[in-house]
């Protein structure tokens, strides 16, 4: 058996093929208004490709519990099983299902592979989040006022607060946050869905995004943390408890301290992390799938925590010859 470095290096391109497949399948449904169809074809494609990869993996962040999801459910074993080392996977075949269904930007297909027990199996709660790139990673504090976080991030980036761009999910729950950011004079970019890509964009150059703030999905925070760690940025989170039912459910899952701050290292610990994502619709981080007759192009990003390697992969697919694995059909199928 090879080293961890060898194993990660060998599967990097294979992981991109997985996210590419989900993206190619989902992108065919762009703008059709059918969220269920978008999710269904992407899940089938991602699960089909995962069955071909030489890993011994377990889904820890996926499509839900087994009785709610026929594929990619939490606890499902994936891969050929021939690798002697066990790994955990966090997957989201379509991060931004409504974005694809409505033809909106910033939808991606994403997955993370890490050593067993290093990805926090966060239940389907919501979390307060703040994410920044490497320059500001040591200065943010999710418990600090909005004004203070904007001030220190601006200082770290060598800018004025009015030059910052803050990404926030466009939700009624963020009315107060949006008001405070506006009062500080920073610019705001509202997004409809897809805070994984938005958070990662804070740590990538030339995206025009400086900081993400607000409340989003807890499982998505694990995917974000893995990528942010690879890029040298930081994500801080806290559970958002809406009512007594949420509090009771959190306690049952072992999340009793609702004031605890979880950073990137808590959500995705260790150094054996590989992150891969492919654009489905055009966005700040990745270009979406584009079709040209019998050809299609995809843009992907793949990162390794161990070496800090970040690769962008532009792929041209010949659809007259290319097949994509369908898990449901148990065979290769033309797109």
What's the CATH number where 288 sits?
A: 3.30.540.10
Structural tokens at position 325: 């694995």
Tell me, what's the pLDDT at 329?
83
Contact 94/39 with Cβ under 8 angstroms? yes
CA distances for 17 relative to 69, 153, 187, angstroms: 23, 36, 37
- Give 318's DSSP letter: E
Q: Which of 267, 282, 313 is the last residue of a domain?
A: 267
Looking only at the bridges linking them, the beta strands covering 165-169 and 187-191 are: parallel
259 and 145 in a common domain? yes
The pLDDT value given to residue 1: 40
The last residue of one of the domains, among 233, 267, 301, is 267
CA distance 326 to 41: 9
Rounded distance between C-alpha atoms, residue 45 and residue 326, angstroms:
5
By residue range, what is the domain housing residue 244? Answer: 126-267
Q: What confidence score (pLDDT) does residue 252 get?
A: 83
Q: What is the CATH number of the domain that holds 155?
A: 3.40.190.90
d(CA 68, CA 107): 23
Domain count, the chain: 2
Burial class (CB in 10 A: 0-12, 13-18, 19+), 192: middle
Instruction: Find the helix packing angle between 146-157 and 175-184, rounded to 10°.
Output: 50
Maximal CA-CA distance, the chain: 58
* Pairing status of strand 126-132 against strand 331-334: unpaired
Same domain, 211 and 137: yes
Closest of 147, 211, 227 to residue 182, by C-alpha: 147
Q: In the chain, which stretches have pLDDT less than 50?
A: 1
Q: Which of 267, 295, 317 is the last residue of a domain?
A: 267
Q: What is the pLDDT of residue 96?
A: 96
Residues 200 and 78 in one domain: no
Residue 141 near residue 39, CB atoms below 8 Å: no
Q: What is the rounded CA–CA span in Å between residue 203 and residue 199?
A: 8
pTM: 0.94
98 and 83 together in one domain: yes
Residue 268: strand pairing partners: 119
Say if residue 257 is in the same domain as residue 142: yes
- Asked if 113 contacts 15 with a C-beta cutoff of 8 angstroms, the reply is yes
Q: Is residue 281 located within the same domain as residue 228?
A: no
Domain co-membership, 133 together with 56: no
At residue 247, the pLDDT reads 83
Q: Are residues 255 and 132 in the same domain?
A: yes
Looking at the fold, whether 255 and 278 belong to one and the same domain comes out as no
What is the structure's pLDDT at 2?
52
Tokens standing for 305? 């925590």
Contact 24, 283 (CB under 8 A): no
Verify that 39 and 112 share a domain, yes or no: yes
CA distances for 102 relative to 30, 32, 282, 292, angstroms: 7, 7, 13, 21
Per-residue pLDDT at 6: 67
Overall size of the chain counted in residues: 335
> Does the CA dihedral 248-254-260-262 come out positive or negative?
negative
Q: Which residue has the tokens 């590419």?
A: 20
171 and 232, same domain (yes or no)? yes
Clarify whether residues 196 and 162 are in a common domain: yes
């Amino acid at each position: 058996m090879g080293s961890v470095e060898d194993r990660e290096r060998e599967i990097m391109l294979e992981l991109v093929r997985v996210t590419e497949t989900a993206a190619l399948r989902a992108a065919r449904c762009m703008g059709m208004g059918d969220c269920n169809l978008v999710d269904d074809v992407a899940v089938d494609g991602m699960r089909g490709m995962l069955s071909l990869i030489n890993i011994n993996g377990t889904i820890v962040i996926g499509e839900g519990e087994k009785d709610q999801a026929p594929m990619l459910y939490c606890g499902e074993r994936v891969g050929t099983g021939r690798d002697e080392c066990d790994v955990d996977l966090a997957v989201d075949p379509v991060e931004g299902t409504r974005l694809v269904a409505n033809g909106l930007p910033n939808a991606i297909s994403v997955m993370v592979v890490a050593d067993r027990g290093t990805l926090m199996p966060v239940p389907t709660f919501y979390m307060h989040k703040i994410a920044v790139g490497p320059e500001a990673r040591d200065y943010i504090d999710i418990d600090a006022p909005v004004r203070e976080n904007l001030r220190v991030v601006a200082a770290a980036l060598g800018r004025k607060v009015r030059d910052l761009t803050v990404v926030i999910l466009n939700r009624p729950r963020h009315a107060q946050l949006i008001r405070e950011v506006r009062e500080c004079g920073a610019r705001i970019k509202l997004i409809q869905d897809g805070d994984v890509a938005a958070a990662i964009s804070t740590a990538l150059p030339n995206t025009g995004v400086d900081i993400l703030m607000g409340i989003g999905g807890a499982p998505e925070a694990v995917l974000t943390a893995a990528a942010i760690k690879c890029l040298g940025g930081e994500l801080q989170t806290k559970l958002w408890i809406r009512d007594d039912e949420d509090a009771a459910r959190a306690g049952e899952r072992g999340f009793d301290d609702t004031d605890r701050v979880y950073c990137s290292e808590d959500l995705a610990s260790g150094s054996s992390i590989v992150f891969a994502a492919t654009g489905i619709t055009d966005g700040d981080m990745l270009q979406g799938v584009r079709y040209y007759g019998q050809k299609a192009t995809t843009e992907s990003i793949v990162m390794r925590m161990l070496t800090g390697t970040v690769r962008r992969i532009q792929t041209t697919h010949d659809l007259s010859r290319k097949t994509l694995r369908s898990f449901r059909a148990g065979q290769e199928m033309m797109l």
